[in-house]
Amino acid sequence: MTNLKIEKDIIIKRLDGIESELIELKKISQETLDDFGSGNGWKLAQFHLHRALEGVFNISTHILSRIPGATATQYKEIAIKLGENKIIDNDFAINKMTKMAKYRNRLVHFYSEVTAVELYKIINEDLNDFEFFLNAIKDLLQNPHKFNLEIE
């Protein structure tokens, strides 16, 4: 049985999408907390952060689906499996990506509880987590053999 190959075009499209969302989030993060909370900034930040997180987990599930026995159904589990399979640093998977997974679920299922203050803190302190993930995936695309994967 032949393993499926990573579909590079799909991954690149999603990487570009995440990077676009990060640009928007960085612009919004320049607002003061008062302006952010009283205007549309925090609503836009929810939208862009949610899209960036979806991109992260779409890429992750695509990659895991190419690794025998590495499939996962829950977002936190997806993060852990990426670390276990050395696609990303295991410490990052456990300490950062699982938090990203939980926050993705918060944005989707508990959106009415999201506050401007918590969102402002995230876009001002945690966007580098996305950069770390993006760099790991770009490394995979450039060196798939390191991960026993093939690119289509």
- Cα separation, 13 vs 19, whole angstroms: 10
Tens of pLDDT along 21-30? Answer: 999 999 999 9
User: By C-alpha distance, which of 40, 12, 13, 38 is closest to 27?
Assistant: 40
Tens of pLDDT along 78-104? Answer: 999 999 999 999 999 999 999 999 999
- So where are the chain's domains? 8-143
Residues 6+ apart with CB under 8 A from 46: 107, 111, 114, 119
Query: Is 46:25 a contact under the CB 8 Å cutoff?
Result: no
- Cα separation, 98 vs 6, whole angstroms: 23
Tens of pLDDT along 111-150? Answer: 899 999 999 999 999 999 999 999 999 999 999 999 999 9
CATH topology of domain 8-143: Four Helix Bundle (Hemerythrin (Met), subunit A) (1.20.120)
